[in-house]
Amino acid sequence: MASAIAVRATQLGRRTLVLTVDPAKRLATALGLELGSDQDHRVPLTNVSGELSAAVIDSKKVFDGFIAKHAQQADVVARIMKNRLYQQMSTTLSGSQEFTALERLLQATESGKYDLVVLDTPPTKHAVDFLTAPQRINSLFQDSITRWFMSPNDSSTGFFGKIVGRGTRVALKSLETLTGAQFIEELIDFFAAVRSVQSVLRERSERVHQLMTGPQTGFVVVTSFDAAKLMEAKYLQGELDRLGYRLQGAIINRAFPEGVPDHLLEAPDNVDPQVYGKVLDFYKQFKEYHSVRYNLYEEFSKGLPSSVKVVRVPEYQRDVYGLSDLENLANIL
């Protein structure tokens, strides 16, 4: 859906970039994306006045690039890259995706190359983690906190050093009891190493937060005709509101297509009445099933502020195979 929004913006003449974390293969092929490249690719759309680019976010590359750029000294870069927790964080462990996606978003908006950047976020449960990532990163890399994890070799303070309050000392000691000395050592090394980039990290996370809460940024919730999914979307809407983000649109996917008008539901003479009856019963069952969902959707739509645009995308849309399918979807949007 993020790609279709980007195509629509391109149709409207804007220079657009769509950033995605984990695209399906055919969609990636359609957009000309190469996994692991992390480069912006021009997508060959014809008959549009704008320009469309697309990129897959490669967490490891973004992370390593960020460290290499901001740590400045080669030995510091090497130390961070060597830290085993950093290696795990920037490759296999989740949690880093939020940071790298937001960093990539900021880079793209600051490049001046695009009028619109569309970021495909993870599904709902992780979307909230995603939205709070700037504050979480900011709170962790405050100087007052990283100081607690300074190296024991640092003569001014040291781990469990003088500046640590008694409460923190006890809490850290408890963590050491539970996880072991090696884990704590790696943590100390991790925080000591990233301390050199903490001011940049803090500054970047503040800028991301400003960007995300600013008037130039809007959020679009994609949901479907399903009670629980609509409840999830409602929850996300509440979270967006609470965190100061602006919801601008809701896309309801897999809506039942417009039904057949009642006056046309009469068996023509040339049709086997038994066949017609069976298909008609099935159609009625289908229509009833979707009308229940339609009521839920109505309820959901009424609960949204009037500034939020709601779009229904019909069920009969076939799968997105290529650019022409994306353009069809964009036309509906």
Partner 1 sequence: MQATKQAAATAWKGRKIVFVSGKGGVGKSLVAAAIAQEETRAGRKVLLAEIGDTSYYKDFWNLPHVGHDPVATKAGFDIALWNGESCLREYVLFYLRLQRLYSLFFENKVMKSLINVAPGLNEIAILGKITSGVRKVGPPMHYDLIVVDCYATGHALALLQAPKGMMEAIKFGPMGHHSREMEAVIENQSICGYVVATLLEEMPVVETLEFCEKLKTQVGVDSSVIANKILSLPVEEAQLNQLKTQDPRGLGEFAKYLDAIFDRQRELFALLEKSVSRLARVPFIFSADPEVLVKKTGEALRET
Please list every residue from 89 through 108 that binds partner 1, using CB under 8 A: 89, 91-96
**Where do we find the tokens 């039904």?**
259
**Choice from 46, 73, 153, 270 touching partner 1 (CB under 8 A):** 270
Contact region with partner 1 (CB under 8 A), list: 47-55, 150-158, 185-193, 203-211: 185-193
Is 69 a residue that touches partner 1 (CB under 8 A)? no
Q: If binding is defined by CB under 8 A, does position 319 make contact with partner 1?
A: yes
Smallest gap from residue 242 Cβ to partner 1 (A): 13
Q: Is 16 in the site for partner 1 (CB under 8 A)?
A: no
Smaller CB separation from partner 1, 302 or 318: 318
Maximum alpha-carbon separation in the chain: 96
286 is an interface residue for partner 1 by CB under 8 A = yes
Residue closer to partner 1, measured from CB, 46 or 318: 318
Interface residues for partner 1 in 288-307 (CB under 8 A)?
288-289, 292-293
- If the CB atoms of residues 21 and 304 are measured against partner 1, the closer one turns out to be 21
Interaction with partner 1 in 108-167: which residues (CB under 8 A)?
A: 122-126, 128, 136-137, 139-140, 145, 148, 167
Q: Which one, of 50, 54, 48, 66, lies nearest residue 19 by Cα?
A: 54
Kind of pairing, strands 51-56 and 15-20?
parallel
Q: Is 86 in the site for partner 1 (CB under 8 A)?
A: yes
If the CB atoms of residues 112 and 165 are measured against partner 1, the closer one turns out to be 165
| Smaller CB separation from partner 1, 43 or 188 | 188
Q: Does 228 bind partner 1 (CB under 8 A)?
A: yes
Instruction: Mark residues 186-225: x for contact with partner 1 by CB under 8 A, - for none.
Output: xx--x---------------------------------x-
Nearer to partner 1, 48 or 320 (CB): 320
Nearer to partner 1, 92 or 331 (CB): 92
* Minimum distance of partner 1 from residue 127's CB (angstroms): 10
Applying CB under 8 A, among 9, 27, 30, 208 the residue interacting with partner 1 is 27
